[in-house]
Amino acid sequence: MAFTSDLDQITRAAAGDAAAVRALVNRYSPGVLALATRMLGETAEAEDVTQETFIRAWKALPGWEPRAKFSTWLHRVALNLCYDRLRKRREVLPDELPDRADVALGPQDALDQAQRVKAVEAAIARLPERQSAALTLCALQGHSQAEAADIMEISVEALESLLARARRTLRGELLDGRKVS
């Protein structure tokens, strides 16, 4: 069971066991990086967030109490770091957000796969941050309803509302060729 295994590895990692540290990093860092990349849409910043997330985890390990799953805690820290960066971006560059209409795609557009991937990534990056987080956690990373709600510290109903709006927006932009408010 992953939870028990986590506890064992957390205990050993807190004592400086290199193998346990490496196991935690290998298991969770790709997911944290993927979340940050989807949220921020920028590789270098996503890597910074991933590193900062684990630095906070290492500091928290000695006093770790298993009230939450380690993975939930990690993703929550990463998500909050992403929110912070997105807020700072908005403060610094309020007029440089991309225009929705610039990259809206219609079904008639002949796109190759790479273009389509870029369009989807751009559309996700333009979603409001909480919608983007809900979509990334559930649709892209496969977190369960309860896990994603726990990570985002919201109710399951609120999560579903965010997901519904996110998917409706993406469908409108990417498949219907129309803007969705």
Partner 1 sequence: MTRRMTDDRLLDIIEIWGAEAHGWPEAERAAAEALLAEKPGRFAPALAAARELDLMLGALPEPDMPRALTDAIIAAAPKPARGLLPRWGGMKAPWVPASGFAAAAFGLFMGLTIAPVASADDEVNAEVQELVISALGFEPANYTLEEME
Which residues make up the interface to partner 1 (CB under 8 A)? 13-18, 21-22, 25-26, 29-30, 33-34, 37, 43, 46-47, 50-51, 54-55, 58, 61-62, 113, 116-117, 120-121, 135, 138-140, 142, 144-145, 156, 160, 163-164, 167-168, 170-171, 174-175
Evaluate whether 87 touches 97 at the Cβ level (below 8 Å): no
CA–CA gap between residue 124 and residue 121 (Å, rounded): 5
Longest dimension (CA), the chain: 58
Please count the other Cβ atoms lying within 10 Å of the Cβ belonging to residue 144.
10
CB of 8 to partner 1, least distance (A): 15
Closer to partner 1 by Cβ: residue 23 or 129: 23
CB of 102 to partner 1, least distance (A): 19
Phi/psi at 96 (5° precision): -105, 15
CB of 153 to partner 1, least distance (A): 17
CA–CA gap between residue 92 and residue 84 (Å, rounded): 12
Closer to partner 1 by Cβ: residue 61 or 86: 61
